[in-house]
Structure 1
Amino acid sequence: MSKGKQGVPASGVQGAKEAENELPPTYQEAVEGYEEMQVQFSLDDKAVRRIFIRKVYAILLIQLLVTVAIVSLFTFCGPVRFYIQTHPGLYMGSYLTFFATYIALTCCGDLRRRYPMNLVLLCIFTLSMASMMGFMSSFYNTKSVVLCLGITAIVCLSVTLFSFHSKFDFTSCQGVMLALCVVMLLCAITLSIVVPFGYVPWLHAVYAVIGAILFTLFLAFDTQLLLGNKRYAISPEEYVFATLNLYLDIVYLFSFLLQCVGGGRE
Structure 2
Amino acid sequence: MSQPSAPSGYDDRNPLYPPPPGSYPQPPHYAGAYPQPGGYPTTMGYRQPGGYPAAGGYPQPGMAMPTMPVRFGDDGIGDDSPFQSVDWDDRKVRHAYIRKVYAIISLQLLVTVGIISVFTFVHPVRTFVQRNVAFYYASYAVFLVTYLVLACCQGPRRRFPWNMILLTIFTLAMGLMTGSIASMYSTKAVLMAMLITAIVAIIVTIFCFQTKVDFTSCPGLFCVLGIVVMVTGIITAIVLSISYVPWLHMVYAAIGAIAFTLFLAYDTQLVLGNRKNTLSPEEYIYGALTIYTDIIYIFTFMLQIVGRD
Contact 1:141 1:263 in 2 (8 A): no
Aligned to 1:25: 62
Aligned to 1:195: 240
Q: Does 1:40 align with 2:88?
A: no
Report how far residue 200 of structure 1 moved.
1.2
Amino acid at match of 2:233: A
Amino acid at match of 1:82: T
- Work out the CA distance in 2 between the residues paired with 1:196 and 1:104: 30
Aligned residue among 112, 115, 124 for 1:67: 112
Aligned to 1:154: 199
Aligned to 1:114: 159
- Work out the CA distance in 1 between the residues paired with 2:259 and 2:134: 30
Structure 1 segments of 4+ aligned residues over 3 angstroms from their partners: 5-8, 24-29, 35-38
**Can you list the C-alpha shifts for 1:84-113, whole angstroms capped at 9, x where unaligned?**
122222222211211121122112212111
Aligned residue among 188, 202, 224 for 2:269: 224
**Can you list the C-alpha shifts for 1:143-175, whole angstroms capped at 9, x where unaligned?**
000000000000100110110111111112334
Structure of greater relative contact order (alpha carbons < 8 Å, 6+ residues apart): 1
- Structure 2 gaps of 5+ residues are 1-40, 45-60, 73-80
- Work out the CA distance in 2 between the residues paired with 1:196 and 1:245: 30
User: Highest CA radius of gyration, 1 or 2?
Assistant: 2
Aligned residue among 67, 83, 94 for 1:49: 94
Aligned to 2:288: 243
Amino acid at match of 1:149: M
Question: TM-score under structure 1 normalisation?
Answer: 0.84
- Structure 1 gaps of 5+ residues are 9-23
Report how far residue 252 of structure 1 moved.
0.4
Fraction of identical pairs, as percent: 49
Aligned to 1:165: 210
Aligned residue among 202, 207, 227 for 2:252: 207
Contact 1:187 1:203 in 2 (8 A): no
**Can you list the C-alpha shifts for 1:31-82, whole angstroms capped at 9, x where unaligned?**
xx9x843421110000011111111111110100100010011011110001
- Work out the CA distance in 1 between the residues paired with 2:233 and 2:303: 17
Number of residue-to-residue matches in the alignment:
244
Question: TM-score under structure 2 normalisation?
Answer: 0.73
Q: What root-mean-square deviation, in Å, do the aligned CA atoms of Structure 1 and Structure 2 show?
A: 2.3
Aligned to 1:258: 303
- Work out the CA distance in 2 between the residues paired with 1:234 and 1:167: 18
Aligned residue among 123, 142, 155 for 2:187: 142
Amino acid at match of 1:75: T
User: In structure 1, the residue corresponding to 2:132 is in which secondary structure?
Assistant: coil
More helix by share: 1
- Work out the CA distance in 2 between the residues paired with 1:157 and 1:63: 16
Contact 1:209 1:260 in 2 (8 A): yes
User: In structure 1, the residue corresponding to 2:277 is in which secondary structure?
Assistant: coil
Aligned to 2:223: 178
